[in-house]
Structure 1
Amino acid sequence: MKHRTFLLASALPLALATAVSAQTDITVALQLEPPHLDPTSAAAGAIDSVLYSNVFEGLTRFASDGAVIPGLAKSWDISDDGLTYTFMLNDGVTFHDGSTMDGEDVKFSLDRARAEDSVNAQKALFAGISDVSVMDPMTVKVTLSEPNGNFIFNMAWGDAVIVAPESIDDIKTTPIGTGAFKFTNWVQGDKIELTRNDAYWGTPAVLNDVTFKFISDPTAAMSAVMAEDVDVFAGFPTPEALPQFEADPRFQVIVGNSEGETILSTNNKMPPLDNVKVRQAIAHAIDRQAIIDGAMFGLGTPIGTHFAPHHPDYVDLTGSSNYDPAKAKQLLAEAGFPDGFTTTLKLPPPSYARRGGEIIAAQLRSVGIQTEISNLEWAQWLEQVFRGKDFGLTIVSHTEPFDIGIYARPDYYFQYDNPEFQQIMETLNKATKPAERSALLATAQKMISADYVNGYLFQLAFPTVAKAGVQGLWENAPTQATDLTAVSWSD
Structure 2
Amino acid sequence: MVQFSSLSQKALSFTAATAMSVLMVSSIAMAAKTDIRVGMVLEPPNLDPTGGAAAAIDEVVYANIFEGLTRFGPDGSVNPALAKSWEISDDGLVYTFKLHDGVKFHDGSDMNAEDVKFSLDRARAEDSTNAQKALFADIANIEVVDPTTVKVTLSKANGSFLFNTAWGDAVIVAPETADTNATNPVGTGPFIFENWAKGDNVKLGKNPDYWGEGVKLDNVTFKFISDPTAAFAAMMAEDVDAFPNFPAPENLPQLGADPRFNVIVGSTEGETILAMNNKKAPLDNVKVRQAISHAINRQAIIDGAMFGYGTPIGTHFAPHNPDYVDLTAQSAYDPKKAMALLEEAGVKDLTLSLKLPPPSYARRGGEIIAAQLREVGINTEIANLEWAQWLEQAFRGKDFDLTIVSHTEPFDIGIYARPDYYFQYGDPDFIAIIDQLTGEADPIKRSELIASAQKKISDDAVNGYLFQLAKSGVANAKIKGLWENSPTQANDMTGVYWED
Provide the TM-score with structure 2 as the length reference: 0.94
Deviations 1:107-128 (A, max 9, x none): 0000000000001000000011
C-alpha deviation, 1:450, in angstroms: 0.2
Structure 1 residue 168: deviation in Å? 1.4
Q: Distance in 2 between matches of 1:264 and 1:101?
A: 42
| TM alignment of 1:6-405, pairs within 5 A | 21-337=31-347, 339-405=348-414
1:343 CA displacement: 1.0
Distance 1:90 1:380 in 2: 41
In the alignment, what sits opposite 2:17? none
- Please list every run of 5 or more consecutive structure 2 residues that lacks an aligned counterpart in the other structure: 1-29
Q: Which amino acid aligns with 2:133?
A: K
In the alignment, the residues of structure 2 paired with residue 349 and residue 165 of structure 1 have an alpha-carbon distance, to the nearest angstrom, of: 34
Q: Which SS does the other structure have where 2:86 is aligned?
A: strand
Which digits, 9 at most, give the CA deviation of each residue in 1:412-446, with x for residues without a partner? 00000211110110000111111000000111100
Q: Secondary structure at the match of 1:95?
A: coil
Cα deviation for residue 170 of structure 1 reads 1.2
Hey, what's the Cα distance between the residues in 1 that align with 2:388 and 2:188? 27
> Which digits, 9 at most, give the CA deviation of each residue in 1:89-115, with x for residues without a partner?
011110000100000100000000000
**Aligned-partner Cα distance in 2 for 1:267–1:76:** 41
Distance in 2 between residues matched to 1:95 and 1:147, nearest whole Å: 32
Counterpart selection for 1:432 from 441, 449, 456: 441
Offset, 1:33: 0.4
**1:24 Cα offset (Å):** 0.5
Aligned 8 A contact 1:262 1:395 in 2: yes
Alpha-carbon contact 1:232-1:466 (below 8 Å) kept: yes
Task: State the distance in 2 between where 1:456 and 1:21 align.
Answer: 48
- Matched residues in 1 for 2:353 and 2:31: separation? 52
Q: What is the distance in 1 between the residues matched to 2:494 and 2:199? A: 25
Alpha-carbon distance in structure 2 between the residues aligned to 1:300 and 1:417: 28
Look up the equivalent residue of 1:75 and give its one-letter code.
S
Amino acid at match of 1:258: T
1:290-341 superposed Cα distances (whole Å, 9 cap, x missing partner): 000000000000000000000000000000000000100000000011x340
SS of aligned partner of 1:228: coil
Structure 2 residue matching 1:49: 3-state secondary structure: helix
SS at match of 2:457: helix
Give a deviation string over 1:37-74, Cα, whole Å, max 9, x none. 11001110100000000000000000000000001000
Please say if 1:472 is aligned against 2:481: yes
Deviation, 1:77, is 0.5
CA contact (8 A) 1:346 1:395 kept: yes
Query: For residues 388 and 115 of structure 2, what CA distance do their matches in structure 1 show?
Result: 29
- Segments ≥4 residues shifted beyond 3 Å: none
CA distance in 2: counterparts of 1:106 and 1:369, whole angstroms: 51
Aligned to 2:176, the other structure's residue is in SS state: helix
Deviation at 1:278, TM superposition (A): 0.1
Aligned to 1:408: 417
Conserved in 2, the CA contact under 8 Å of 1:405 and 1:425?
yes
Computing the radius of gyration over CA atoms, which structure comes out larger, 1 or 2?
Answer: 2
Whether the 8 Å contact between 1:332 and 1:340 is mirrored in structure 2 is: no
RMSD value over aligned CA atoms? 0.7
- Give the secondary-structure state (helix, strand or coil) at the position aligned to 2:204: strand
In the TM superposition, what whole-angstrom CA distance separates every residue of 1:458-484 from its partner, at most 9, and x where no partner exists? Answer: 000011110110001000000000000
Q: Which residue of 2 aligns with 1:487?
A: 496
The alignment partner of 2:115 has SS state of helix
In structure 2, give the amino acid aligned to 1:355.
R
Which one-letter code corresponds to 2:291 in the other structure? A
Cα drift, residue 21 of structure 1? 4.0
Q: Measure the CA separation in 2 of the matches of 1:464 and 1:106.
A: 35
CA distance in 1, matches of 2:252, 2:31: 26
CA distance in 2 between counterparts of 1:57 and 1:118 reads 19
Alpha-carbon separation, structure 2, partners of 1:481 and 1:256: 14
Aligned residue for 1:165, secondary structure, equals coil
Per the alignment, residue 444 of structure 1 pairs with 453
State the TM-score, normalized to the length of structure 1. Answer: 0.95
CA offsets per residue over residues 236-258 of structure 1, 9 Å max, x none? 00001111011100000000100
For 1:75 and 1:296, locate their aligned partners in 2 and report how far apart those are by CA, in whole Å: 42
Q: 2: CA distance between counterparts of 1:72 and 1:380? A: 35
